[in-house]
């Protein structure tokens, strides 16, 4: 008995000592740790302007596709595609198939092959990468076989067949990246190269130079301009993957996992790197790292994370591209697959604790931005675009607007069934086909009603 008491007393004593140590010492040690975390070292660039006023995409440097309406007046269509994991990629693929085969306005009208600019974020970029890889495969095969475009490209049927034949659209990335212990071991962009960005017949996957063709090049522009957006860790600026931006940041290398790869020409950067950077959700994914040997006094790095951290709709660079364009008619199509929070009230009257606050914090920007863009900014977008064009069409497809879409699909990198994939695809397709603004646009383009989308109401 006495022995037991003695042991107990010792135990209490040790516990008290431990408590005291934790109480008095831990804060200091932890504060140091925290300070270290807070000061994840940044480094000054030679060009001090670069952080305060980050460079903008300049589409005028590249060869562009050219489209006209029935009066031969130029038309510029830009698509902005939001993030949201596989929910976003499948919904977007659905919308793209809908655009390809409008039954609203003029049956069978193809809007998709008249798209000039695409600005994508995170999961939305999977869909765009997939579309452009398949489309460029088709173009390549056409040339090789000497066929004059007898059989038109159909994205819808490509998706349809891929769902059943391969796992490329629904590779289980969740398993690989939801797990912290695997983080860093996985070469994310290589996985993307084998899935969404895979090309047929041993063709190399798309690189920056396949999308952005310099005006001086002898190559023809065949694909729309595709801007994949990510976020710079240090200052939360948008980082769009275009050659002029890469050059401006003096990028001359990148990392695949831990392996450094020199980049003597920014055109050689694989788009799989861009898509990976654009969808590197903090905490779950490691940052994607670009390097520069000339931007700072020593070798320095751009750490890139998910574009959702800044503009999760990709709308800023879609607008930016359209504003540079001289077309008389401008079209902005928003594809928004975001899971907007649909409650504002709390159940508790007590203030949320810091864990809830920290967990919410990482979503604050996208939540805020989606609400603002859908509610208030759509008006300004139109007046802004109208300031240098004659007709403007602004259309938005929002997954959230689907009343029947009751069972919310979480932001995931794996969908659990083909049924679910098809569900998202059909929602997207129907949303595009039934969109009123797109119907107006088609009417306008085929010359059925030239008064639609007019900027001046007078």
Least distance from other proteins to the Cβ atom of residue 125, Å: 19
Nearer CB in complex with other proteins: 75/295: 295
- The string of DSSP codes covering 292-318 is ESSSBSS-EEEEEEEGGGT-TT-HHHH
DSSP-derived secondary structure letter, 180: G
Distance CA 112, CA 132 (A): 11
Two tokens at 226? Answer: 């595709």
Two tokens at 327? Answer: 């077309």
Which of 136, 207, 310, 339 contacts other proteins by CB under 8 A? 310
Does residue 343 interact with other proteins by CB under 8 A? yes
Least distance from other proteins to the Cβ atom of residue 272, Å: 18
Backbone φ/ψ region at 408: left (φ over 0), alpha (ψ -120 to 50), beta: beta
Beta bridge partners of 226: 118
Instruction: Return the closest-CA partner of residue 59 out of 323, 385, 334.
Output: 323
Which of 345, 404, 406, 419 contacts other proteins by CB under 8 A? 345
Residue found by looking up tokens 């060009």 in the block: 47
Which ranges in 228-334 belong to alpha helices (H)?
A: 243-248, 271-278, 315-324
Does residue 228 interact with other proteins by CB under 8 A? no
Contact predicate 155/97, CB 8 Å = yes
Which of 141, 293, 356, 449 contacts other proteins by CB under 8 A? 356
Backbone φ/ψ region at 403: left (φ over 0), alpha (ψ -120 to 50), beta: alpha
Nearer CB in complex with other proteins: 16/203: 16
Q: Give the binding range for other proteins (CB under 8 A) out of 13-21, 142-150, 358-366, 416-424.
A: 358-366
Nearer CB in complex with other proteins: 106/386: 386
Does residue 372 interact with other proteins by CB under 8 A? yes
Q: Give the binding range for other proteins (CB under 8 A) out of 29-37, 150-158, 202-210, 414-422.
A: 29-37
Does residue 346 interact with other proteins by CB under 8 A? yes
Distance CA 79, CA 147 (A): 30
Does residue 108 interact with other proteins by CB under 8 A? no
Which of 68, 296, 394, 452 contacts other proteins by CB under 8 A? 296
Nearer CB in complex with other proteins: 142/400: 400
Nearer CB in complex with other proteins: 11/357: 357
Which of 2, 3, 4, 38 contacts other proteins by CB under 8 A? 38
Q: Give the binding range for other proteins (CB under 8 A) out of 102-110, 142-150, 173-181, 208-216.
A: 173-181
Instruction: Return the closest-CA partner of residue 98 out of 333, 329, 392.
Output: 333
Does residue 266 interact with other proteins by CB under 8 A? no
Does residue 60 interact with other proteins by CB under 8 A? no
Residue 47 C-beta-side C-alpha neighbours within 13 Å: 14
Does residue 257 interact with other proteins by CB under 8 A? no
């Amino acid at each position: 008995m006495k022995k037991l008491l003695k042991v107990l007393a010792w135990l209490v004593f040790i516990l008290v000592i431990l408590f005291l140590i934790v109480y008095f010492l831990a804060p200091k040690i932890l504060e140091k740790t925290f300070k270290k975390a807070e000061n994840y070292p940044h480094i000054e660039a030679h060009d001090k302007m670069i952080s305060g006023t980050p460079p903008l995409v300049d589409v005028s440097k590249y060869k562009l596709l050219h489209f006209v309406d029935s009066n031969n007046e130029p038309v510029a269509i830009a698509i902005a595609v939001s993030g949201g994991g596989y929910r976003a990629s499948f919904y977007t693929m659905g919308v793209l198939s809908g655009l390809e085969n409008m039954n609203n306005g003029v049956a069978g009208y193809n809007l998709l092959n008249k798209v000039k600019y695409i600005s994508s974020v995170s999961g939305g970029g999977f869909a765009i990468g997939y579309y452009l890889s398949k489309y460029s495969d088709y173009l390549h095969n056409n040339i090789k076989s000497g066929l004059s475009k007898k059989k038109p490209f159909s994205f819808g049927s490509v998706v349809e067949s891929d769902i059943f034949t391969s796992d490329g659209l629904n590779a289980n990335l969740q398993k690989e990246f939801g797990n912290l212990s695997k983080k860093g071991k996985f070469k994310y962009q290589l996985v993307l190269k084998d899935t969404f960005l895979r090309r047929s017949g041993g063709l190399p996957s798309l690189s920056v130079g396949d999308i952005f063709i310099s005006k001086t090049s002898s190559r023809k522009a065949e694909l729309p301009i595709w801007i994949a957006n990510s976020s710079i860790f240090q200052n939360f600026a948008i980082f769009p993957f275009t050659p002029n931006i890469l050059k401006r940041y003096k990028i001359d290398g990148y990392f695949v996992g831990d392996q450094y790869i020199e980049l003597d020409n920014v055109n050689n950067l694989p788009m799989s790197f861009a898509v990976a950077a654009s969808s590197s959700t903090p905490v779950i994914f490691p940052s994607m790292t670009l390097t520069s040997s000339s931007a700072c006094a020593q070798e320095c790095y751009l750490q890139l994370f998910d574009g959702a951290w800044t503009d999760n709709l990709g709308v800023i660079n879609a607008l930016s591209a359209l504003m540079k364009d001289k077309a008389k008619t401008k079209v902005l199509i928003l594809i928004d697959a975001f899971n907007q929070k649909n409650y504002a009230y709390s159940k508790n009257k007590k203030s949320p604790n810091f864990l809830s606050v920290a967990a919410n914090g990482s979503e604050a920007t996208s939540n805020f931005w989606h609400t603002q863009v859908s509610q208030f900014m759509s008006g300004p977008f139109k007046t802004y675009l109208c300031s240098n064009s004659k007709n403007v069409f602004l259309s938005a497809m929002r997954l959230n607007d689907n009343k029947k879409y009751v069972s919310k699909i979480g932001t995931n990198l794996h969908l659990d069934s083909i049924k679910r994939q098809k569900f998202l695809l059909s929602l997207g397709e129907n949303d595009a086909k039934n969109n009123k603004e797109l119907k107006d646009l088609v009417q306008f383009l085929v010359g059925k009603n030239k008064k639609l989308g007019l900027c001046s109401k007078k």
